[in-house]
Amino acid sequence: MVTKQEFLQTVAKIVTMASDVPVTVNVTTIRRNNGKHDCIQVKRGRNTGVNVGVDSYYQAFCDGGISAVMAAAESVIQAQEDCEAYKDAMLNIAKEMTDYEQAKGMLMCRLVNTALNRDRLSEMPNIPFHDLSIPFYVMTDSGQGLITGITNNLLAKWGIGITELFRDALANMQAKAPAEFHSIFDAITGITGVPAEDMEKTVKDIGAPMLYILTSKDKRMGAAVILYPGILESCAEIMGGDFYLIPSSIHEFLLAPVSGMGPDELQAVIRKINQTEVLPEEMLADHAYLYSTAQKKIIMV
C-alpha cells in the first residue's frame, strides 16, 4: 500500500514538473485546527508560499481512485495560481491589520476544540467556552475569503482588551453571517428533490425525533452562531423546550429534542461520525451539549 508520505512526495514531483513557472515544492507539516497536518508547500521565488492539504485526494486514492494523484497535483497548482492572483489583496490585509480601526470591520470569531489546540491557543487571544475556545480572525470582504488569525502580539499592538475584541467580532458576524435555522430535511430536499414536508410527516408518523441545523448564512465557521444573543432561546421556542446541540463540525450544530436519544447514545453516534464523516481539522467535539430553557444556558452532557 502507498503511504501518505509516498503519495505526497509523488504529488510534489508532479507539481514541480507541471508548473508553468519555476517553483520550489516540498512536503511539510504545519499546525492547523486540531493538530498538525501534512501538506504540499509551493514557493515561487522569494514570495511567501502556499500550503495545500490533499488528505481527501489521498483517501480517494486509497479507495481505488488512481486519478486522485493528478487531481491532487492540479489542486496544488491551482492554489499556487490563486495565491499569486490574491497577492495584492493579502498585502493590503497586512497593512490594514496594523490599524485596529481598519481591521475591526473584518473581525470574526469561531469555536474550536480546546484540548486539541492548546499550543495554538497559547499564541492567540481566546475566550474559554465550556470545553471549547473562542479564537479570533479577520476575513476579507473582497470575495476571496482570505483568513488571518489574530495573535497575542497583534492584540498588544492594537492596545485593546479581549472584551472589546469579542464585542466587535460578534457584531460583525451577526451582520455579515446571520444565523440560519432549518429542518435537516430542507437540506436533504436540495440534494434529493424529495419535499421536506413529506419527510417530516414520515418522521412524525413513526415517532422519530426531528433534527434541525443551526449554522451561519455562509456556512463557514457556522458553529459559532450559538454565541449570538437570543439565538438559542429562539430555537427553543420553535422546538418546544430543551434540546441537545450536536456538534456536526466547526461549521454547524445539529439540534435534537431531549425526547429523542439519551446523552450516552448521542455520544456514541457523534464519535462514529467524527471518525468516519468529518475531516480531522473540522471536528469540534465528541459529545453533545444541552440547552436548558429553565437556566437559559448551555450545559455539558
pLDDT tens readout for residues 23-51: 999 999 998 899 988 999 999 877 667 89
266 pLDDT more than 90: no
**pTM for the whole structure:** 0.85
Place of cell 492540479: 74
Mean pLDDT of 238-263: 91
| β-sheet with 50-52: strand ranges across | 24-32, 35-43, 50-52
Helix (H) or strand (E) holding 136: strand 132-139
pLDDT number for residue 11: 96
Give me the pLDDT at residue 187, please. Answer: 63
More confident residue, 193 or 104: 104
Higher pLDDT, 143 or 278: 278
Contact criterion met (CB below 8 Å) for 129 and 111: yes
Q: What is the mean pLDDT of residues 13-18?
A: 94
User: Interior CA angle at 135 toward 121 and 165, to 5°?
Assistant: 125
